[in-house]
Homo-oligomer: A and B are copies of this chain.
Amino acid sequence: MKFIATPVKGMNDFLPQDMKLRQHVLRLIRDTYATYGFDEIETPSMEHIENLTGKVGGENEKLIFKVMKRGRELEKGLATGEIADSGMRYDLTVPLCRFYAKNRNDLPTPLKALQIGNVWRADNPQKGRFRQFTQCDIDIIGDGSIMAEIELIAATSGMLTRIFSEVGVSEFTVHINDRRILKAMAASAGFTPEQYDDVFITLDKMDKIGLDGVKEQLREHGYAEEVVEKYVSMFDAAATDPAASAKASCSDFCEKVCADTLDPSVAAGMDTILDSVRKMIASGVHLEFDPTLVRGMSYYTGTIFEISIDGYNFSIAGGGRYDEMIGRFSNQSAPACGFSIGFERIITILRDLNWQEPGTAAKRMAFLVDERIPAEKLTAVFEKATALRGAGNIVTVQPLKKNAKFQVETLEKNGYTEIHKVYADTQL
């Protein structure tokens, strides 16, 4: 019987040159977050199907890879109709909430967690969209103060600055907003709470259709002219001059547009986040209060944020506060705030920018050995290799191929700089 050599649809094999980059980035991520006191955790790749289909995953719930019951469990399932009792996780947030509910008594408070792992989505595969991919989340659970936001944004900015310095990129923009400000602005304009979701979905298209487009679409949706007018005018200054919103404090802005509906401590907290983070990040990172930032996930309850590389038209990290998720997994709620890093996007950009493995002190040496040499000589080659490895070098020993030229070229391409052919009469 012959087997199938291609991977399962939408999933990737990673070759040595791919893995060098991926592992290098993972190590920088781990090392940077460790400096900020984040501890790594891990959860299983599978979750109870009930947890995955509980209406917190949005569109992703349609994309679950379901795992079948087994043996007698399966027979029971066939009778009752349900033949899957678990599924592959589609994100790291649902597993994190379950993890915290289960283990909270054995965890520090606040928990500063780094989670790196694969997730699976039965999506239509296309360029840059896969059915198995790596996610990387950092979360702070049990800290309801703005210290959580400050630590998350500063740490993630620091991580990105460190990684992208290797390809000469140093300019990032962090957009930050707050769901409570979004809602207050909509309320002050005259929208009712039931209308918020639709209004925010439209607002979210700002970067594609512009403020005029938003205005037109809101009109088309049948909202009152004066409500739409008032709402759009709030964003006017910010949209026509982004720099203006960056310089003005969030408190000033909110005082103007939604003083009647917003608790002023929300805007004051935002200003402290802005002030603190700006003192923590590299000069190339621009932190901007952005009242047009929406973000999709419905579970966010407070601050929301996104990071993009200047010149790229998509975010490479995003997150926010979700104080009500943990409570759905246990009787005890807990405040939570997190950042999800677009690991695969970062890898793609680094490769596009021709990332090269940073040089190390280790020399890469290869011994290509004629297989006909006497046994004692072969043993002597390995003794020599051992000594060289002990001295910190990377050494490989392998048979000399008939096509030695191609073998040497391949090794050189893989960074081997000293290549020795060993025959019976070679002096070691």
A interface residue numbers (CB < 8 A to B)? 1-8, 11-16, 18-20, 22-23, 30, 34-37, 39-48, 50-51, 54-55, 65-68, 70-71, 83-84, 86, 88, 97-99, 101-103, 106-110, 112-113, 118, 120, 122, 132, 143-147, 150-151, 154, 158, 268, 271-272, 275-277, 279-280, 328-330, 362, 364, 366, 369, 371, 375-376, 378-379, 382-383, 385-386, 389, 393-399, 401, 407, 410-411, 414
Contact B8 A48 (CB under 8 A): yes
Contact A280 B383 (CB under 8 A): yes
Q: In the complex, how many angstroms separate the beta carbon of A343 from the nearest chain B beta carbon?
A: 13
| A379 interface neighbour in B84, B132, B272, B329, Cβ under 8 Å | B272
Q: In the complex, how many angstroms separate the beta carbon of A410 from the nearest chain B beta carbon?
A: 5
A7 CB contacts on chain B under 8 angstroms: 43-44, 98, 102
Contact B15 A106 (CB under 8 A): yes
Contact B11 A396 (CB under 8 A): no
Residue in chain B with minimal CB distance to A401? B109
Known: A36-B395, A36-B396, A37-B394. A272 touches B375 (CB 8 A): yes
A36 to B365 CA separation, bound complex (whole angstroms):
10
Contact B4 A50 (CB under 8 A): yes
Contact A67 B70 (CB under 8 A): no
A113 CB contacts on chain B under 8 angstroms: 16
Contact A3 B98 (CB under 8 A): yes
Residue in chain B with minimal CB distance to A70? B122
Q: In the complex, how many angstroms separate the beta carbon of A371 from the nearest chain B beta carbon?
A: 5
A329 CB contacts on chain B under 8 angstroms: 2-3, 5
Residue in chain B with minimal CB distance to A10? B44
A387 to B106 CA separation, bound complex (whole angstroms):
31
Q: In the complex, how many angstroms separate the beta carbon of A215 from the nearest chain B beta carbon?
A: 36
Contact A44 B280 (CB under 8 A): no
| A411 interface neighbour in B20, B108, B401, Cβ under 8 Å | B108
A364 to B35 CA separation, bound complex (whole angstroms):
9
Give the residue among A118, A329, A398, A401 with the most B Cβ atoms within 10 A: A398
Name 21 interchain pairs, CB-CB below 8 A, sorted by A. Answer: A2-B329, A3-B51, A3-B329, A13-B42, A16-B40, A16-B113, A19-B40, A23-B40, A37-B364, A66-B68, A67-B68, A109-B407, A143-B399, A145-B371, A147-B398, A268-B375, A271-B375, A279-B379, A279-B382, A279-B386, A280-B385
A173 to B166 CA separation, bound complex (whole angstroms):
44
Contact A39 B19 (CB under 8 A): yes
A158 to B328 CA separation, bound complex (whole angstroms):
48
Known: A5-B329, A44-B7. A68 touches B88 (CB 8 A): no
New contact pairs (14) apart from A14-B43, A16-B39, CB-CB < 8 Å:
A3-B50, A4-B48, A8-B46, A15-B106, A16-B107, A35-B395, A36-B394, A45-B118, A46-B65, A65-B67, A67-B67, A108-B414, A147-B398, A268-B375
Q: In the complex, how many angstroms separate the beta carbon of A38 from the nearest chain B beta carbon?
A: 8
Contact B70 A68 (CB under 8 A): no
Contact B147 A397 (CB under 8 A): yes
Known: A30-B23, A50-B4. A366 touches B328 (CB 8 A): no
A419 to B300 CA separation, bound complex (whole angstroms):
32
A14 CB contacts on chain B under 8 angstroms: 41-43
Known: A3-B51, A98-B7, A394-B34. A109 touches B12 (CB 8 A): no
A68 to B64 CA separation, bound complex (whole angstroms):
10
